[in-house]
Amino acid sequence: MAEFTGKTVLITGGGSGMGLATAQRLLDAGADVVLAGRSEDRLESAVKDLDAGDRVLAVPADVSRTADLDRLAARIGERFGGLDGVFANAGVAGFSRSADVTEEDFDGLVGVNFKGVYFTIQKSLPLLRDGGSIVINGSWLTHRGLAFTSVYAATKAAVINLARTLAPDLGVRGIRVNAVSPGYIVTEMFEAISTTPEAQEECRSHVALGRLGSAADVADAAVFLLSSRASYITGQEIVVDGGLTTSVPL
């Protein structure tokens, strides 16, 4: 029997990048998956790519709106009856000098990256079975201060901290809470920020392993934390960055 047979996992931001790669890995391991995201087109195309019939449920939802999360939870309850895992992965990027950050920029980033993760988890709790696993998508940017990322990096520090505070909160139900913190991972988000080959090469040059990461690199860590192989790991962060934050490459 495959490792995730009979298990259901919610992935926010499941229509692209690391969320989609994680969905593919989980389906391969026997899980049913729920994909949530704002764009219906993106979700539709993800469902087509995954090609797993009724083992995939896609629900349009904006994680920054609690009414959407209530609707998402209701759909999951109707279709699957409960959850065994949550990958709170949806996020948006926005970088500028601190002097230029507007209230709208601030609220947008905090609304999706912090409030969205917080309430994704809270609204999933009634569905999440005891012994379940929650994985939060953080960032390497909480380990090194990069100019122009003041708000984005702070939202990621907030959600990595959630893994630590929710671990004892939910540990009484045997629910584990951990984070993955990606380095430079080639996804739509990365390509929207590092738009030229020169910019991407500059990023690559800081990575000890000498290559940019793939969505599958992060999916492997997320799936591990979601699985029973990580059954004694909670309140932790796995940094998936090819050595970016801890090494000086040759």
Ligand X SMILES: NC(=O)c1ccc[n+]([C@@H]2O[C@H](COP(=O)([O-])OP(=O)(O)OC[C@H]3O[C@@H](n4cnc5c(N)ncnc54)[C@H](OP(=O)(O)O)[C@@H]3O)[C@@H](O)[C@H]2O)c1
Instruction: State which of residues 11, 13, 50, 175 lies at the interface with ligand X (CB under 6 A).
Output: 13
| 124 counts as binding ligand X under rule CB under 6 A | no
Please report how close the Cβ of residue 16 comes to ligand X at its closest, in angstroms.
Answer: 4
Report yes or no: 56 and 35 within 8 Å, Cβ to Cβ: yes
Distance separating alpha carbons of residues 157 and 155, to the nearest angstrom: 5
What are the backbone dihedrals phi and psi of residue 224, each rounded to the nearest 5 degrees, phi first?
A: -55, -50
Please report how close the Cβ of residue 23 comes to ligand X at its closest, in angstroms.
Answer: 11
Query: Two tokens at 141?
Result: 């940017």
| 244 counts as binding ligand X under rule CB under 6 A | no
Please report how close the Cβ of residue 62 comes to ligand X at its closest, in angstroms.
Answer: 4
| 19 counts as binding ligand X under rule CB under 6 A | yes
Distance separating alpha carbons of residues 197 and 217, to the nearest angstrom: 21
As a whole number of Å, the CA-based R_g of the chain is 17
Instruction: State which of residues 33, 90, 219, 223 lies at the interface with ligand X (CB under 6 A).
Output: 90
Residue 184 annotated to the active site: no
Label the pairing between strands 8-12 and 32-37.
parallel
Report yes or no: 179 and 137 within 8 Å, Cβ to Cβ: yes
What are the backbone dihedrals phi and psi of residue 90, each rounded to the nearest 5 degrees, phi first?
A: -60, 135
Q: Which is nearer to ligand X, 18 or 33 (CB)?
A: 18
Q: CB under 6 A: which stretch of 17-25, 79-87, 127-135, 168-176 binds ligand X?
A: 17-25
Q: CB under 6 A: which stretch of 3-11, 22-30, 50-58, 91-99 binds ligand X?
A: 91-99
Query: Between residue 156 and residue 195, which ones bind ligand X under the rule CB under 6 A?
Result: 182, 184-185, 187-190
Label the pairing between strands 83-88 and 237-240.
unpaired
Query: Two tokens at 148?
Result: 């122009």
Report the 10 Å Cβ neighbour count for 151. 21
Please report how close the Cβ of residue 5 comes to ligand X at its closest, in angstroms.
Answer: 26
Active site residues: 152
Please give the residue ranges that form the binding site for ligand X (CB under 6 A): 12-13, 15-19, 36-39, 42, 62-64, 89-93, 112, 116, 137, 139, 182, 184-185, 187-190, 215
